[in-house]
Structure formats: C-alpha cells, structure tokens
Structure 1
Amino acid sequence: MLKLRDVSKSYASGRQVLTRLNYTIPDGEYVAIMGDSGVGKSTLLNLIAGLDRPDSGEILIGGVDIGALQDDEATELRRQRFGFVFQAFHVLPHLTLAQNVALPLLLNGAGHGPAMQRAQAMLGALGLQGRDQDFPRQLSGGEMQRVAIARALVHKPMLLLADEPTGNLDPDTAHVVLSMLRDEIKSNGATAIIVTHSPAAADTADRVLMLTREGLHPA
C-alpha cells in the first residue's frame, strides 16, 4: 500500500508545487494521474521513487517511509522492487538493447543466460524481436520508449512508476504497449502509477486521478 501523508514540496525557486498532499493507493491498483503541465506530476513520481525528498510529510510504501531511508537503503529498494519509465528514457548508449533490458535482472543477481532470455522475450513482446543486439543509436524515439518499458517490467517490479509511457508512440503501438503494461502489472499483482496527458492511456487504468493546486482527487 502506498500512502501520501501531508506531502509538500517546493521547487528550488521557492515556488510551492505540492501542498499537504494526502492519498492512499491500495496494493495491486493501476492508477493514472492527469493534470495540467507544471502542476507537479513528475515531481510527485520522483518523490514516490525516493529520487527526491519531500519538504515535509511522509510517503509510505509497505509501511516504510521512503523519505527517511538512507541513500543506499533507498537504492536497494528501488533496484529490487521498483520499475521506472522516464520521459528521457535513460537507455544506456553503450549497451545493446538486450543488455539494457536485462540490467535490472543482472543487478538483482540473476544469471546472465536467464536474464538475456527474459530480456529478449520482453523485447519481442513489444515488437522489437530480432533487435536485441542493436544499440540505442539505431532506434527511433518510439522504439527507445519501448526499450525503456521492457526494462521497467523485466524484473516484475511490485511498483511501476511511468512518466508519459506512450508519449513517443503512435496510437496503434501505444495500444499494444498499454495492453501489455496492464497485463504484466495485473499478472504480477503489482501497483502502477502512470502520469499521462493521454485519455486513451488513462482509460486503461483502474482509477484516474487529477492533480491540481488543491490536491489529488478522482477525475
């Protein structure tokens, strides 16, 4: 279960972006967060991931206040239990597609052979079969997005955080990716939070929330 308790955050400029945010997301729920640009959606994802810390309040994941963890403890939690899809992809240019996707498995101690097999299967499921030995420089933006999604799901995380996961995809590919995303999440009993401007992406979620200056509330 994910609990936000009176979470507040300001930008470095001093502008308040999140103010005393409260919400609870049960285990196994797939939630879409929508809202105007600049309202703090990506900031909220970074706080939940422990990549940034709130100015005040608590973010509890399974009863653990992620903002109170030491850096190495937060890193370990992210590596083992979280999956991320960032707008900037963060695909490593010097690794092949299969190596990029397999990275979470390898960091968690999986054997090289099984990790590569799982990575190839994920790439195939996202329409990139036969591309496992290619490098990111050979990809379009939409293909890079699919690699990032495959990497986020490959180790079956218990919490998936995705920032505009279909932002670089055409509608047909987005439909395929969203279907797979939901299937993977549900089959693993995972919790997922996606930030999106796309009504089609939001429609795949169990619940749609709007983030406004007044807080987080059902759409």
Structure 2
Amino acid sequence: MLKLHELTKSYADGRRVLNRLSYSLGAGEYVAIMGESGVGKSTLLNLIAGLDTPDSGEVVIDGTAISSLDEDAATRLRREKFGFIFQAFHVLPHLTLLQNVALPLLLNGASAERAYDMLDAVGLRGRAGDFPRQLSGGELQRVAIARALVHRPALILADEPTGNLDPDTAHDVLALLRNEIRENGASAIIVTHSPAAAATADRVLTLTKDGLQPAALRPRE
C-alpha cells in the first residue's frame, strides 16, 4: 500500500529530522507512531500525504511515486485514497457540519448520504446544520474525524486524533477509527503521544533520529 524509500528531510534552519527513512505499510495494517516532540512525526505525515516534499527519497502509494504525478493527479490521489485527521482540523468555517463532512463524497462524485451516518457516529448528528464557530475544540476534532472517514479512504493519516477529546469521547473515536479500518480494509498511520491511542494499533513504532523502531509499548488484544 505505502512504501517510504530513504526519505530525508531538514527544516529551514538546517536541522535534519528524517535521515534516509524507509518503511513499508501493508494493506489493512494499522500503525501508531510515537516519539518526542520535534522528532519529525508530523513532518513524516505531511511527506506521506504529499503536502510537503522530501529533500531526497520517495513516497510510493500503490506502486505510484507521488513525485511522478503532476499537481492535478496528486490532488486526485489524495482526494480519492487518503483520509486526513490533522491537529489544525481544517474545518471550513462557511460550511455547516454536514457540508464539511460531506465534502469528500461530493468531490468524488458520490452520494452525500453517508455524511449523516458519520456525524451520528461521532455524536453530532443533531448538530448537522450548525457552523464550526458554534463548536468546541473537541467537537471540531470529531467533525474532522468524521470527514476523514466518510469516503472510506484506503489510507488514513491521523496526527494526534484524540488530542482535543475527553477520555470517554477519545475511547469512542478510537473504537470508530479501528472499526472503519477493519470494515473497509484500510491502512492507517496515527501519530500520537497517547499510550491509550497507540495501544489500539496493530503495531507501535517510535520515531527517533535513527528511524522507526519497535516501541516498548504493546497494543491491547
């Protein structure tokens, strides 16, 4: 599904955060990545998504190198195959919650009916007509999660998906994420500082200056 080949990336100040990192993620595999702040976890997700460009190396999705695609083709790939859950939410303020969640379906020419189900799944069906300005940070996070999953993406990328949620809501959202991965045969990578979130994954890795290493934390059965 996903292959990372010798990715290298440095920040603008010259500090190198990724050094020839290679990794393969199989279809249906769910991996959690942990690590200290500033080690490059979010940068790695942005490189996988094609939102940032590596200094060297390659990101390959289903046999296609992202760097080989023009801008339109790369956008189409992200729209069809990726689901993003990022810390900044990126919820569109001028759209209702329902319209925000339905957006990936409409962009892919699909029916928007599943958007209601996803709002229901994150406990916000009764807020479908509300606008983002009426929501708390935790509620915005749930909208972002519903939008990321609504079109049944093949690859889910999540950056601290439970960072703005209380423990009970975080538990429910992680259960939803796990269920969507299993039902749709999706692959997923979550970046998290939360051992509880990481423990829902099939594998837990730690990102260090030496690359991705197996973590001491073991996922729950």
TM-score, length basis structure 1: 0.96
Partner of 2:71: 71
Aligned-pair distance for 1:71? 1.4
How high is the sequence identity, in percent, across the aligned residues? Answer: 75
CA distance in 2, matches of 1:205, 1:4: 19
**Off by >3 Å, runs of 4+ in structure 1:** none
- Written as runs of structure 1 = structure 2, the 5 A alignment for 1:21-40 is 21-40=21-40
Unaligned ranges ≥5, structure 2:
216-221
Give CA-to-partner distance per residue, 1:144-163, whole Å, 9 cap, x none: 00000000000000000010
Partner of 2:105: 105
Partner of 1:178: 174
Partner of 1:211: 207
Partner amino acid for 2:21?
L
Q: Report which stretch shifted further, 186-195 or 6-15.
A: 6-15
Aligned-pair distance for 1:57? 0.9
Contact residue 54 and residue 67 of structure 1 kept, 8 A = no
Secondary structure in structure 2 of the residue aligned to 1:184: helix
CA distance in 1, matches of 2:86, 2:95: 18
CA distance in 1, matches of 2:122, 2:16: 39
CA distance in 1, matches of 2:76, 2:192: 27
Secondary structure in structure 1 of the residue aligned to 2:125: coil
Q: Report which stretch shifted further, 69-78 or 175-184.
A: 69-78
Q: Pick from 183, 187, 203: which aligns with 1:187?
A: 183
Aligned-pair distance for 1:23? 1.1
Give CA-to-partner distance per residue, 1:59-105, whole Å, 9 cap, x none: 11111111332111110100011000110000000000000000000
Q: CA RMSD in A?
A: 0.8
TM-score, length basis structure 2: 0.96
CA distance in 2, matches of 1:193, 1:207: 10
Aligned-pair distance for 1:20? 0.5
Q: Report which stretch shifted further, 66-75 or 17-26.
A: 66-75
Secondary structure in structure 1 of the residue aligned to 2:130: coil
Q: Report which stretch shifted further, 98-107 or 119-128.
A: 119-128
Secondary structure in structure 2 of the residue aligned to 1:130: helix
Aligned length: 215
CA distance in 2, matches of 1:128, 1:67: 38
